[in-house]
Each structure stands twice: as C-alpha cells, then as structure tokens.
Amino acid sequence: MSEQVSRCGFVAIVGRPNVGKSTLLNHMLGQKVSITSRKPQTTRNNVTGIKTEGRDQIVFVDTPGLHKHEPRAINRYMNRAAGSAMKDVDLVIFVVDRLAWTEEDEMVARQLEQAGSPVILAVNKVDKIDDKNALLPHLQSLSARLGADEIIPLSALRGINLDRLQDIILNYLPEGPHFYDDDQFTDRSARFMVAEIIREKITRQLGDELPHQMAVEIEEYKHDGKTLHIGALILVERDGQKRILIGNQGDRIKQIGQQARLDIEALLDGKVMLRLWVKVKSGWSDDERALRSLGYDD
C-alpha cells in the first residue's frame, strides 16, 4: 500500500557564504543548476533544482549565503532572498563548514529558529578533516545546542553521505502529487542559466579583482535553425574593472567566452555562438531599479 504513495515537497539549502550549498545542490541533482566558486556571494538568487526519482520529487531551493555586511542594495537583496526561502518549506538543510562556527552561522541559526521549519544540520567538507574521531563529540554538542532535527556529516564535493541525506529528506516530505514535470530540473529559464554560466566563469577567473561588482545581461538570444546566437553584456562598476575583464589584447574576455560557450553548449545540447561585451555602469549594484532590470526582483 505505502509503495504507491508519492512524496513531494520543498527543501531550502541555507548557510553562510562558501560552505558549499550550491555544490551540494548540484551533486544531489547530478546536474549543474547552480554556479559555484571559491568566492563568497557567487549565488545571488534563489535557484530551484528539481529532483524526481521514482515516485518522489524533491524541490530544492539554493540560496545566497546569509552574510553580515550589507553595504549595497545587491547584498540586501541576497539576504532577503535567503531569509524568505527558509519559510514555507517542508525542510531546511543548514550547511556548515566542518567544525568552524562563525558569527554568520549564528545569524543563520537565529533566522531558522524564527522560521520554524524542521532543520537538518549538514556538516560539509568532511573530506578535508584528518581526524574523523574529533568530529563526533562536536557534532553532538552542536546538534543539541541548535535543536536540529537531524545531523549528518557529508562531502558535497566528493559525494560522501549524499544517499543518506536523500533518505532523511524523503522522511520529511509530505505525500502528494508532483509540482513539476518529471523531466524538469529547474524553474529557471535557459536565458537565466546562460547568464549564470557566464558569471561563473568571470567569478572563477577574476573574483578577487572584481569583488561582486559585475552583472551579466543577455541582450540577444536567437536560434537560426542551426546555431543559437547569444549576445551578453557584462556590467562593471568602473573603467579599471573593464580593463581587467578584457585583459591584454582581449585575451581574458576571450578565454571567459570560450569556457562559457562550452558549458552552454553542454547544457543546451547544441551549437552556440557567444558574443560578450563589457560596459561600465557605475552604481548598478546599489541601485534598486537597476537591480530589478537585471532580474534581481524576487
């Protein structure tokens, strides 16, 4: 009888920047939907990743990391997105980085208390822990202090314990019909995914030199029957950033374009012509209207 029951529900993935939330989502799905990098604030929007397996469907919501300093409108936007995702979900996965516990983790914990959803504490990056025995007492005290419903050590990157995580998640999902088609893996448009892939390549190459002051806008998106023609505008805040991005005789931007094109072709399974250009638009990251026109308007 219970064999016939299908489960479907929403699971938010939250935590401070860089603990591995987006990596976890991608590995749970076996498909890349959310961009990742060593740099904090890589994820700016809530990104939905849908996993349908057998009768069950898990709808993950990856969030920008909740962070302390929020000088500009873009940062406030990111914190709002993360905060709203914690509510109205069936379950929250609270990701932390090994034994490190910071003020920002504390901030997330306090928000979770208010949101009131069940919480799984996922202690990530255990592949980087040498003394695994030291982990257990720490996990127990952390779990007790937070009142987490479950606690699980894992490695999002190496795929350690992800099956167990999935089993735990399923226990928390209500019975009910699927929200999405079984072959759909995100609710984001192909255009959004394309812009994100370009942003990932820039962040990975130049994150230190362009600290979060860059946005990508798709200006052209046309299929001619054989090839998809994409034109993307990269917005930066200052002239110097434009020079860095373009590089010596354009070599930097060319490299970024090549890497992005390969990923886009893999994602969309077809030939792509990608043109990138760079424009200085100072103040965009602190301008609510500019942000909305760039799609930061959830």
Instruction: State yes or no: residue 34 binds K ion (CB under 5 A).
Output: no
Q: Which two tokens stand for residue 79?
A: 């914190």
Complex with ligand GDP: residue 9 or 17, whichever CB lies closer: 17
CB of 163 to ligand GDP, least distance (A): 15
Instruction: State yes or no: residue 63 binds Mg ion (CB under 5 A).
Output: no
Beta carbons of 78 and 298 less than 8 angstroms apart: no
Instruction: State yes or no: residue 23 binds ligand GDP (CB under 6 A).
Output: yes
Instruction: State yes or no: residue 43 binds Mg ion (CB under 5 A).
Output: yes
Complex with Mg ion: residue 14 or 230, whichever CB lies closer: 14
Q: Which two tokens stand for residue 186?
A: 């995100």
* Residues 204, 256: Cα–Cα separation, whole Å: 10
Beta carbons of 291 and 73 less than 8 angstroms apart: yes
Instruction: State yes or no: residue 18 binds ligand GDP (CB under 6 A).
Output: yes
Q: Which two tokens stand for residue 293?
A: 């026109």
For 42, list phi and psi in degrees, rounded to 5.
-70, -45
- Which residue in the set 125, 199, 201, 212 belongs to the binding site for ligand GDP (CB under 6 A)? 125
Complex with ligand GDP: residue 96 or 230, whichever CB lies closer: 96
Instruction: State yes or no: residue 22 binds Mg ion (CB under 5 A).
Output: yes
Complex with Mg ion: residue 35 or 256, whichever CB lies closer: 35
Q: What is the residue whose two structure tokens read 């949101």?
A: 115
- Which residue in the set 34, 42, 57, 203 belongs to the binding site for K ion (CB under 5 A)? 42
Complex with Mg ion: residue 21 or 32, whichever CB lies closer: 21
Complex with Mg ion: residue 21 or 212, whichever CB lies closer: 21
If we measure between CA atoms, which residue out of 126, 162, 115, 123 comes closest to residue 142?
123
CB of 232 to ligand GDP, least distance (A): 21
If we measure between CA atoms, which residue out of 130, 121, 90, 98 comes closest to residue 14?
121
Instruction: State yes or no: residue 124 binds ligand GDP (CB under 6 A).
Output: yes
Complex with ligand GDP: residue 57 or 63, whichever CB lies closer: 63
Stretch in the footprint of Mg ion (CB under 5 A) among 17-25, 133-141, 208-216, 288-296: 17-25
Cα-based distances in Å from 293 to 61, 229, 289, 297, 298: 23, 22, 6, 8, 12
The 10 Å CB-count burial string (b at 16+, else e) for 156-165 is bbeebbbeeb
DSSP state, 7?
A: B
Judge residue 148's burial from the number of C-beta atoms within 10 Å of its C-beta, 0-12 exposed, 13-18 middle, 19 or more buried. Answer: buried
* Residues 270, 59: Cα–Cα separation, whole Å: 27
Stretch in the footprint of ligand GDP (CB under 6 A) among 2-10, 20-28, 86-94, 255-263: 20-28
Stretch in the footprint of ligand GDP (CB under 6 A) among 36-44, 134-142, 222-230, 241-249: 36-44
Instruction: State yes or no: residue 157 binds ligand GDP (CB under 6 A).
Output: yes
Q: Which does 242 bind (CB under 5 to 8 A by kind): ligand GDP, K ion, Mg ion, none?
A: none
- Which residue in the set 8, 12, 20, 274 belongs to the binding site for ligand GDP (CB under 6 A)? 20
Adjacency order of strands within the sheet including 47-53: 47-53, 56-62, 8-14, 91-97, 119-124, 150-153
DSSP state, 187?
A: S
Binding site for ligand GDP (CB under 6 A): 15, 17-23, 36-38, 42-43, 65, 124-125, 127-128, 155-158
Binding site for Mg ion (CB under 5 A): 21-22, 43
